[in-house]
Amino acid sequence: MPLHAYHHDNKSGDPGHPHHSSHSVPIDYLASLGIPITSFEGPDFEGNARKIAKEQGYPLTEKSTFIWDLHEPLSSSPMVKHHAHKIKEASRNEIHFKKLIIIPDYLVAIIAGSVYLDVEDPLKQTWIRVELPAGTLLHIPAGVSRRIATENVRALMFLKDESDIQVLWDKEAEAHPILNDPLALHILIVQNLNERNKISRLRALEKTTSYRLFVVQT
């Protein structure tokens, strides 16, 4: 599975199937939603991921670094075993395949297997599916709505501190204050300042959601 992204076709069926709509999405667009994605080298994916996380200021303590194993949830770190099992079960069944949020912010590295990650696009109100192979690193802000479809991925989660991990599903997630806090800040990158339509949509988004726009020329 190569790293790439596209709009989800929103058709019913097994969540573990590609659901490719044929409308590709640039990886840089995910960064504009606050989710930068990069690749790193193997074959020692775990060792290299830990090295990168340390360079970025993550403490790598037992209470801030967690293994998520959706192939064998019992092999996950003790604090996340229950969540890993629930995500695996949800990814098998269309009825239970619902969006979730995870709090707090975290860095995640795919160190084995692969995963379909669906990210909700608040600008277009659609789902973007990202295919993430081993050797992928991404930062996910707290409260970003996502869906996860996989049964064979092993990943490392890095936290900046030893905060408690919350995994909230569906209606519970929508009701959480982080999605309704008018002071919450989210950075949205506009790659071309001449894209007036995009900026207009972002400004409108500021008025109706917790997003606050910081225009960054890249």
Q: Is the pLDDT of residue 218 over 60?
A: no
pLDDT digits (tens, 9 = 90+) for 49-93: 999 999 999 999 999 999 999 999 999 999 999 999 999 988 888
Establish how many alpha carbons lie within 13 A of residue 35's alpha carbon, considering only the half-sphere containing its beta carbon.
25
DSSP state of 131: E
| pLDDT band, residue 122 (cuts 50/70/90) | confident
**Distance between CA 108 and CA 119 in Å, rounded?**
15
4-170: CATH superfamily: Jelly Rolls (2.60.120.10)
Integer-rounded Cα Rg, in Å, for the chain is 17
Which residue bears the tokens 């790598």?
60
d(CA 58, CA 61): 9
Residue 178 tokens read as 């982080």
Which single residue is written with the structure tokens 């996950």?
Answer: 76
Q: Average pLDDT for residues 121-144, to the nearest whole number?
A: 90
> Residue 134: pLDDT band by 50, 70, 90 thresholds?
very high
* pLDDT at 95 exceeding the cut of 90: no
Residue 169: strand, helix, or coil = strand
In this predicted structure, what is the pLDDT of residue 210?
Answer: 44
CA distance 1 to 28: 19
Domain positions in the chain are 4-170, 181-218
DSSP secondary-structure letter at 176? S
The pTM for the full model equals 0.81
Nearest one of 129, 120, 127, 74 to 101, comparing CA atoms: 120
- Encode pLDDT of 183-208 as tens digits: 444 444 444 444 445 555 555 555 54
Residue 136 clears pLDDT 50, i.e. is over it: yes
